[in-house]
């Protein structure tokens, strides 16, 4: 395992702070694959366009930074980071944090909307039962009248009509 980490470290950084061509190619290929994968997910309707734009933007930034290494040097210099690959990891970490925060907000909103919808359905169901003249439904049974009929007819099978 340690030799694998050493091999990756040797192929990633040739000079101090410079990405190797092999690492650059790998970064471009991975970013392009992520971009194409997101497009495929949208095409199959497994990912909504709103979120696809976020992922495609992240992949686009990855492609730009993998190709334009002087841009990575500029970002590292502005942030006071000695090694441009470390700046790339920081940019990636910030992007992942932004995506996670965005998804947390979306999940929170959807959870609240689900709760409100469940309450509305329950209220409408109660109103419908009241309009039909049915009593409240017992847990685990269909409508309230069926549950009452089942309980009343359980002891006397001769009075209940055949179904």
Q: What is the pLDDT of residues 47-73, one digit of tens each?
A: 988 889 888 888 888 888 888 878 888
Stated pTM of the model: 0.56
Domain boundaries, given as residue ranges, for the chain = 2-102
Q: What is the pLDDT of residues 10-24, one digit of tens each?
A: 444 445 556 678 888
**Helix, strand or coil, per DSSP, at residue 19:** strand
pLDDT at position 157 is 47
Question: Rounded CA gap, 58 and 98, in Å?
Answer: 10
Q: Nearest CA to 22 among 66, 72, 76? A: 66
pLDDT at position 1 is 45
Q: What is the pLDDT of residues 92-137, one digit of tens each?
A: 898 889 889 989 999 999 999 999 999 999 999 999 999 998 876 6
Question: Rounded CA gap, 163 and 154, in Å?
Answer: 14
Question: Rounded CA gap, 13 and 3, in Å?
Answer: 16
pLDDT at position 7 is 44
């Amino acid at each position: 395992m340690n030799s694998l980490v050493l091999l990756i470290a040797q192929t990633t950084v040739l000079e101090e702070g410079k990405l190797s061509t092999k690492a650059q190619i790998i970064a471009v290929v991975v970013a392009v694959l992520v971009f194409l994968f997101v497009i495929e997910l949208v095409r199959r309707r497994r990912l909504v366009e709103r979120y696809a734009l976020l992922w495609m933007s992240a992949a686009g930034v990855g492609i730009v930074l993998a190709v334009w290494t002087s841009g990575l040097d500029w970002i590292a210099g502005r942030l006071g980071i000695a090694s441009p690959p470390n700046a790339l990891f920081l940019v990636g970490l910030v992007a992942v944090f932004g995506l996670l925060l965005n998804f947390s907000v979306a999940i929170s909103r959807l959870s609240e909307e689900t709760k409100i919808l469940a309450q509305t359905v329950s209220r409408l169901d109660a109103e419908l039962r009241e309009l039909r003249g049915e009593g409240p439904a017992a847990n685990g049974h269909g409508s309230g009248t069926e549950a009452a009929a089942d309980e009343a007819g359980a002891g006397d099978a001769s009075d209940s009509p055949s179904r």
